[in-house]
Structure 1
Amino acid sequence: MIDQLIDKIRETGNPSVVGLDPTPAMIPEYLKRQMYRQYGQTPEAVAAIFTAFNRLVIEQIWDLIPAVKPQIAMYEQYGIPGLTSYMETIRYAKSKGLIVIGDIKRGDIGSTAAAYASHIGGVEIEGVRHDLWKEDAITVNPYFGTDGIQPFVAACKGRGIFVLIRSSNPGSAELQELETGGEAMYLKVADLVAEWGKDLIGQHGYSEVGAVVGATWPEQGSALRERLPNT
């Protein structure tokens, strides 16, 4: 995944990723009226609205950017119709040649982590593997430690993960800036990310195990770039 992402960045001359995090409030009224007439005020209507809106967005940007990043929570709050919209959005984005990063921020241990990792690794049924979600990469939460991350790393066969290191919200400092061993916790997490991804370096010198760093912390972001040259 990471080599394809770097290739797309170079091809478009643009490192931007467009988030596909729709809410009904942001959708044009004509589109909402159309779907509410057809489906009523239902989750099915909202899902159809999201799918149609995302297609319109993708049609305008597919040749300008390398990737899109749908946030799964915006869809799954509407149940199965919402998840269907999420998956349809992914399929359409990929049909236009875009890299898709599923913003799911999953994390757990053991069999639960392995189940979450099916987003990129697929699921096996009686020896037959199915790639249901089709994301190229996903975001993950590292705070279960190495055994919580390993199932995701193991699934990085042509796919990737982006590990939360430093988030953009103000309250993140309550945990991420706690000192441990003389350094902030997020720096310790950064070192773990480098360790987790050291055997997954692509042809362009970057790992399939990437990092999520909020742009609201530019100085910390610059320091993390130096600390993580392959991430």
Structure 2
Amino acid sequence: MIIDKLIEKVDLKKSHIVVGLDPRIELMPENFISKKIREGASLSNILFEFNKKIIDSVYDLVPAVKPQVAYYEMYGIEGMIAFRDTIKYAKEKGLIVISDVKRSDIGSTSKAYSNAHLGKVLFSGKQVNDFKTDAVTINPYLGSDTVKEFIEDIKEDGGMIFLLVKTSNKSSGEIQDRISNNKKIYEYVCASINSFADDTLGKNNYHSIGAVTGATYSSELSQIRKLIPRSYLLVPGYGAQGGKGSDVVSGFNKDGLGALVNSSRGIIYAFNRIGKNIGESARIAVKEMNEDINLNLKNVNKYRW
């Protein structure tokens, strides 16, 4: 099961960090872009080579990466080629890959989404797996029938899903914090995660159904940790969105597990702050983030190692 492999990698690298791979041409160093253009590189190659520099510099420090599909879709077919190549290369480097796709729809369409990223699609006796990944984010707000299709695939193939529960954006409360029968909407999603999680428990006593919960809402993060104690939390919002190590520790259990903390811009564009090349700067940023999180976990007796 991917959840067990994830925890093995967390322990091996003593890190709870997920590096978000969100490439944008306009934010990349000009000398990198101009060099690639002189070499005749395609758009897909430029995007992939940028990601490759990040992966090569941090794969030994972190358990997972998270490509956000929007940053590939915006570049059309070339972007999706880079998405495919990034997933494949990250897996080759031993990383868990969480594809941030936030998919959801009516049952049959959810099944197609799930097949594309988690399950199996066969054509002429061969499997089509360009976008097959280890885990995906999904939007549960369309209802349980949209989630069950994904659950079927993770039970069959051992993958993971992370349901959007309390997202890190400023306006998330407009819907997620609404009260119905004395409970917030996101609390209902937590209850559904517990109901869905049967038969997905790994050997480390964590389920394959997790939750996306933003570091920018630390009190809600603490509450959600209590509501779904055996689910892994994917915690965005660290770094560029303002989250710090002290904000994320409430997402962890006493065993020092239970949360993955994502940083995208703060790592992949760290060259703007640190002043070294793409890869070196990313590596320094990861080490700084890892030290920050682990130090704060020690302070609250949640440090595992």
Report if the CA contact (8 A) 1:207-1:230 is conserved.
yes
- What's the counterpart of residue 138 of structure 1? 136
Shift of 1:39: 4.8
- What's the counterpart of residue 166 of structure 2? 166
1:123 aligns with 2:121: yes
Give distance in 2, aligned partners of 1:129 and 1:201.
27
- What's the counterpart of residue 36 of structure 1? 37
Q: Give me the CA root mean square deviation.
A: 1.4
Letter of the 2:10 counterpart: I
Report if the CA contact (8 A) 1:122-1:132 is conserved.
no
1:56 aligns with 2:53: yes
Q: Map 1:61-210 to 2 at 5 A.
A: 61-118=58-115, 119-125=117-123, 128-156=126-154, 157-210=157-210
Q: Which whole-Å deviations, capped at 9, do the CAs of 1:145-195 have from their partners, x for residues lacking one?
A: 110101111110211111100001111100000001111100111110121
Give distance in 1, aligned partners of 2:124 and 2:37.
41
Give distance in 2, aligned partners of 1:129 and 1:88.
17
Letter of the 1:183 counterpart: K
Give distance in 2, aligned partners of 1:160 and 1:103.
12
Give distance in 2, aligned partners of 1:70 and 1:129.
22
Letter of the 2:47 counterpart: F
Letter of the 2:45 counterpart: A
Report if the CA contact (8 A) 1:16-1:65 is conserved.
yes
Shift of 1:56: 0.5
Give distance in 2, aligned partners of 1:129 and 1:53.
28
Give distance in 1, aligned partners of 2:22 and 2:228.
28
Give distance in 2, aligned partners of 1:31 and 1:211.
36
Give distance in 2, aligned partners of 1:38 and 1:164.
41
- What's the counterpart of residue 7 of structure 1? 8
Q: Which whole-Å deviations, capped at 9, do the CAs of 1:25-73 have from their partners, x for residues lacking one?
A: 2212122102333558xxx42x222111110001110000000000000
Letter of the 1:154 counterpart: E
- What's the counterpart of residue 27 of structure 1? 28
Number of aligned pairs?
227
Report if the CA contact (8 A) 1:50-1:85 is conserved.
yes
Letter of the 2:65 counterpart: V
- What's the counterpart of residue 17 of structure 1? 18
Report if the CA contact (8 A) 2:176-2:185 is conserved.
yes
Give distance in 1, aligned partners of 2:166 and 2:198.
20
Report if the CA contact (8 A) 2:119-2:132 is conserved.
no
CA 1:127–1:36: 2 relative to 1, 3 Å: closer
Report if the CA contact (8 A) 1:122-1:131 is conserved.
yes
Give distance in 1, aligned partners of 2:126 and 2:87.
22
Q: Which whole-Å deviations, capped at 9, do the CAs of 1:96-127 have from their partners, x for residues lacking one?
A: 10000000000001211111001111213356
Q: Identity over aligned residues, as a percent?
A: 40
Give distance in 2, aligned partners of 1:160 and 1:19.
17
5+ residue gaps, structure 1, are none
Shift of 1:128: 4.7
